[in-house]
Amino acid sequence: MTNHWNDLQNSDCILIMGSNPAENHPISFKWVTKAQRAGAKVIHVDPRFTRTSARSDMYAALRSGTDIAVLGGMINYILQNKKYFTEYMVEYTNASFIVGEDFDFKDGLFTGFDPATRSYDKSKWSFELDSKGNPKQDKSLAHPRSVFQIMKKHYGRYTLDKVSSMSGVSVQDLKELYELYAATGTAKKAGTIMYAMGWTQHSVGVQNIRAMAIIQLMLGNMGVAGGGVNALRGECNVQGSTDYALLYHILPGYLKTPLAGQDTLEQYNKAFTPVSNDPKSANWWSNYPKYSASLIKAMYENDDPKDAYNYLPRLDSHKASQYSWLPLIDRMADGKFSGALIWGMNPACSGSDSEKTRKALGKLDWMVNVNLFTCETSDFWKGPNMDPKSVKTETFFLPCASAIEKEGSVSNSGRWMQWRYKAQEPQDGVLTDGHYFHELWEELVHLYEEEGGVYPEPITHLTFNRMCEADENGKYHFSAQQTARLCNGWFTRDVEVKGKKFKKGQQVPSFAYLQDDGSTTSGNWLYCNSYTDEGNKAERHDSTQTEEQARIGLYPNWTWCWPVNRRIIYNRASCDPKGNPWNPEKAVIKWNGEKWIGDVPDGGWAPGTKHPFIMLKHGMGQLFGPGRVDGPLPEYYEPLECPVETHAFSKQLHNPTAVHFEDEEKAVADERFPFVASTYRVTEHWQTGSMTRWMSWLVETEPQMFVEISPQLAKLRGFENGEKVVVESVRGSLWAIAMVTDRIQPYKIAGKEVHMVGMPWHYGWVTPKDGGDSANLVTPNVGDPNTGIPEYKAFMVNVRKWKEGDA
């Protein structure tokens, strides 16, 4: 989230698309309905009528996977009807930038596409530069190659009729939706978006969000109270675990994993440090070398970062098709891993195509699974279609402490880093995850010292004990407090920075003081300022706020928020170039003639001296985004499994760069699998249910796998409500109880009736008895080319009656 949960109350129009917060983020809805009581319009656009729709002022049903049609249509409506916020768009976005002559778009493809590698040469989408190396601009927006004019041409194709024919939303509903939301394109109105996996889990996931970001920038909704682009994260610390880079492509704080050929720290830094010649561009990533050196120093405190850089493994590329989840499981299925450490996860149910995943686990020599309860992953070797006697995988299950049996912090969707305390000791024999990591590391150091082995230095030099506290016998134990101190960072020697003197061992006050020479540590620069000499700010429970802060509910003294306790990111864009808030009633920051007051500003520079989007090289919001692998503008493509052979926007049926495996069959307009399917969550269960299926109160409320089916489809197939049916796809099948409901209605797509079914993905064979199995038995191994996220939200199935002998 660029904003935070309490901030929803400040909105004038809340678009909920790609999420169902009333059921999946229930307490957030407190703030949605608060805004609504104050006059805000709430709009829900979703394939399925849910409790969120029931509370909304407007509901529109779209076919799953057609969001870019609907959003592209909205961009077109805003442009045609001049609903954009002109001053904001001209001053703060790249609408006026001139795109180079190489750029073009034809038949659903941008220039630079190479069919052999299914990838683009992104240099074809570059901006035209002036003599100083800055993008040329035309603030009149008239230049035919200006971003503004290119967008007009591109989205002019997204007519109401075409959008309606692909999405199934009526022309009348589209008009109402566009009018309601575009009304926020003025200085005094803010519109916000609440999205979740309903947008990300598509082969065009990133472009779904890009499309909305474009709308928010055109309407001047970024940086303001009640605005922003707000991802509703699914897990209590999935924000933090991403910030801390448990992902192939990043290191903590969104630094990049090193690539082959970057032989020195200097080469690595150079590759990832952007350069801008525009004095008005803060270009914050120019600080990259300070953050990388401080991270390496946090890991290897006794080494020079230049040397310790060599301890970091290097990848061949950052391609999602090479290292992300889908290719990882594919590689496991090919027997290319001998071991796997599976921590607080249940991939046997959570990954797409569960059958493939479960079989892949059987190709390992060994596997460690750490969880609160046993699950389909720890027990995979005795699951359906498995004969334990033929499964080699040596398997360990390690029980871990629960969230209230240890201390530590979690970061919510609004980036609030919140401390949790230990309420009770874990049972004997149960350790925290942190203790498991540390003790395994100690044992490995011991083994390498005793037996030698391949390149042991990265392990033996790791200063893991700096994350620990020593007991009276001098034995080190993992300590969350010590680790939080290290993640913030400390000075490793006496130094003077920006005229301030610091002693060795002192905490670094904020990332502005981090250094590139090894004199500072910081396990994650984004968290620098969370644990200073004042103490651990994630522990703060102080509700006091100034009058301005209270007006929009900023709560700056309640816990802590990254970066540097800034509650609303890009807040410089909430003011005009003179520092006056666009909406003084709900000011986020304001220039008082000497300094900014309100929220922590995006840099203290005087108004008008720096562009507002400080993390971007040119400082301007990117309507035209030449950095994504599948195009600089969102374009409509069908999901990789879809009910149609052609679509209204181009000849290019699918995202040409999507991650998929050539040898795996896909159902495209395939009469064997005629129904669109989507997966989702219910309030009473969580993710694969690996915890909630063991909680009797929750199981009693949602005991069993079901599939939501429209009355029309039930009639077509002769199903009764409550009957056991089979859902099957190219990949597999599972049984589910038919829930016949008006909440799902057939769509009219290109003149034809198309049915959809929806399923929760919380179940698994381990428990409860007769609960059913994972919906991921039928989901596809295809995904977004930028992120690699699987397309769980739109794929094709058949539903039929259950008979004896079916799974």
Partner 1 sequence: MQRRTFLKTTAAAVTATAFTGLGPAFALDNVVKEAGECKIQWSKQTTSICAFCSVGCGLVVHANKSTGRVVNVEGNSDHPINRGSLCAKGASSIQMTVNADRPTKCMYRAPYSDSFEVKDWEWCKKRIAKLIKKSRDESFEKKNADGNVVNRTMGIASLGSAALDNEECYAMHSFMRSLGLVYVEHQARI
Q: Which is nearer to partner 1, 99 or 229 (CB)?
A: 229
Q: Which is nearer to partner 1, 387 or 472 (CB)?
A: 387
Q: Which is nearer to ligand SF4, 23 or 330 (CB)?
A: 23
Give the whole-angstrom CA distance, residue 543 versus residue 532. Answer: 20
Q: Position 428: which residue type?
A: D
Site for ligand SF4, residues 713 to 742, rule: CB under 6 A: none
Among ligand SF4, partner 1, none, the one that 454 touches (CB under a kind-dependent 5 to 8 A) is partner 1
Question: Among the candidate windows 112-120, 272-280, 440-448, 747-755, which touches partner 1 by CB under 8 A?
Answer: 440-448
- CB 24 to partner 1: min, Å: 7
Give the whole-angstrom CA distance, residue 101 versus residue 124. Answer: 8
Please report whether residue 454 would count as binding partner 1 according to CB under 8 A: yes
Among partner 1, ligand SF4, none, the one that 462 touches (CB under a kind-dependent 5 to 8 A) is partner 1
Which CA distances in Å does 683 have to 27, 188, 458, 646? 11, 35, 44, 37
Binding residues for ligand SF4, rule CB under 6 A, total: 3
Site for ligand SF4, residues 576 to 605, rule: CB under 6 A: none
Question: Among the candidate windows 128-136, 411-419, 567-575, 649-657, which touches partner 1 by CB under 8 A?
Answer: 411-419
Site for partner 1, residues 706 to 735, rule: CB under 8 A: 721
- CB 39 to partner 1: min, Å: 17
Give the whole-angstrom CA distance, residue 560 versus residue 806. Answer: 53
Site for ligand SF4, residues 16 to 45, rule: CB under 6 A: 25-27
**HSE-up of residue 200 (Cα within 13 Å, Cβ side):** 15
Among 274, 712, 741, 801, binds partner 1 (CB under 8 A): 741
Which CA distances in Å does 106 have to 103, 458, 480? 10, 50, 54
Among 256, 306, 331, 748, binds partner 1 (CB under 8 A): 331
Give the whole-angstrom CA distance, residue 288 versus residue 274. Answer: 9
Q: Which is nearer to ligand SF4, 310 or 402 (CB)?
A: 402
Q: Hunting for tokens 């957030």 — which residue is that?
A: 28
Does residue 647 contact residue 654 with C-beta atoms inside 8 Å?
Answer: no
Does residue 46 contact residue 62 with C-beta atoms inside 8 Å?
Answer: yes
| CA-closest candidate to residue 546, choices 512, 510, 590 | 590
Please report whether residue 116 would count as binding ligand SF4 according to CB under 6 A: no
Among ligand SF4, partner 1, none, the one that 472 touches (CB under a kind-dependent 5 to 8 A) is none
- CB 35 to ligand SF4: min, Å: 17
For residue 514, what are its two tokens?
């981090």
Per 3-state DSSP, what percentage of the chain is helix, strand, and coil (rounded to 5)? 30, 20, 50
334 burial (CB, 10 Å; 0-12 / 13-18 / 19+) is exposed
Please report whether residue 60 would count as binding partner 1 according to CB under 8 A: yes
Among 109, 183, 403, 495, binds partner 1 (CB under 8 A): 403
Which CA distances in Å does 125 have to 89, 150, 627, 739? 21, 12, 9, 48
Please report whether residue 30 would count as binding partner 1 according to CB under 8 A: yes
Among 396, 546, 595, 715, binds partner 1 (CB under 8 A): 396
142 burial (CB, 10 Å; 0-12 / 13-18 / 19+) is exposed
For residue 415, what are its two tokens?
């980036």
Q: Which is nearer to partner 1, 344 or 674 (CB)?
A: 344
First to last CA, the chain: 41
Q: Name residues whose C-beta falls within 8 Å of residue 162's C-beta, 6 or more positions apart in sequence.
A: 69, 73, 648, 649
Q: Which is nearer to partner 1, 220 or 347 (CB)?
A: 347
Please report whether residue 764 would count as binding partner 1 according to CB under 8 A: no
Q: Which is nearer to ligand SF4, 26 or 261 (CB)?
A: 26
Among 220, 414, 626, 656, binds partner 1 (CB under 8 A): 414
Q: Hunting for tokens 């506290």 — which residue is that?
A: 469
For residue 254, what are its two tokens?
């969104």
| CA-closest candidate to residue 780, choices 385, 363, 351 | 351
Which CA distances in Å does 83 have to 77, 90, 220, 457, 528? 8, 14, 11, 60, 40
Give the whole-angstrom CA distance, residue 99 versus residue 707. Answer: 48
Among 425, 585, 720, 753, binds partner 1 (CB under 8 A): 425
- CB 466 to partner 1: min, Å: 10
Q: Which is nearer to partner 1, 1 or 573 (CB)?
A: 1
Q: Which is nearer to ligand SF4, 26 or 133 (CB)?
A: 26
Site for partner 1, residues 348 to 377, rule: CB under 8 A: 350-352, 365-366, 368, 370, 372-374
- CB 326 to partner 1: min, Å: 9
Among 441, 476, 661, 735, binds partner 1 (CB under 8 A): 441
Q: Name residues whose C-beta falls within 8 Å of residue 349's C-beta, 6 or more positions apart in sequence.
A: 375, 376, 377, 688, 689, 690, 761, 763, 764, 774, 776
With H, G, I as helix, E, B as strand and everything else as coil, classify residue 53: helix
Please report whether residue 404 would count as binding partner 1 according to CB under 8 A: yes
Among 74, 328, 589, 659, binds partner 1 (CB under 8 A): 328
Give the whole-angstrom CA distance, residue 337 versus residue 366. Answer: 9
Among 686, 719, 765, 802, binds partner 1 (CB under 8 A): 686
- CB 798 to partner 1: min, Å: 22
Q: Name residues whose C-beta falls within 8 Å of residue 470's C-beta, 6 or more positions apart in sequence.
A: 476, 477
Does residue 205 contact residue 196 with C-beta atoms inside 8 Å?
Answer: no
Q: Name residues whose C-beta falls within 8 Å of residue 145's C-beta, 6 or more positions apart in sequence.
A: 98, 99, 100, 101, 103, 128
Q: Which is nearer to ligand SF4, 29 or 127 (CB)?
A: 29
Please report whether residue 239 would count as binding partner 1 according to CB under 8 A: yes
| CA-closest candidate to residue 669, choices 640, 702, 707, 703 | 640
Give the whole-angstrom CA distance, residue 74 versus residue 174. Answer: 8
Among 254, 343, 605, 735, binds partner 1 (CB under 8 A): 343
Q: Which is nearer to ligand SF4, 93 or 230 (CB)?
A: 230
Please report whether residue 464 would count as binding partner 1 according to CB under 8 A: yes
- CB 166 to partner 1: min, Å: 18
Please report whether residue 388 would count as binding partner 1 according to CB under 8 A: yes
Site for partner 1, residues 523 to 562, rule: CB under 8 A: 523-524, 527, 541, 543, 553, 555, 558
Among partner 1, ligand SF4, none, the one that 165 touches (CB under a kind-dependent 5 to 8 A) is none
Among partner 1, ligand SF4, none, the one that 14 touches (CB under a kind-dependent 5 to 8 A) is none
Give the whole-angstrom CA distance, residue 342 versus residue 442. Answer: 19
Give the whole-angstrom CA distance, residue 654 versus residue 632. Answer: 17
- CB 271 to partner 1: min, Å: 13
Which CA distances in Å does 156 have to 159, 212, 233? 7, 17, 33
Among partner 1, ligand SF4, none, the one that 569 touches (CB under a kind-dependent 5 to 8 A) is none
- CB 366 to partner 1: min, Å: 5
Q: Which is nearer to partner 1, 203 or 276 (CB)?
A: 203
Please report whether residue 116 would count as binding partner 1 according to CB under 8 A: no
- Mark residues 275-314: x for contact with partner 1 by CB under 8 A, - for none: ------------------------x----------xxxxx
For residue 101, what are its two tokens?
């002559």
Site for partner 1, residues 253 to 282, rule: CB under 8 A: 257, 260-261, 263
Please report whether residue 697 would count as binding ligand SF4 according to CB under 6 A: no
The residues binding ligand SF4 (CB under 6 A) are: 25-27
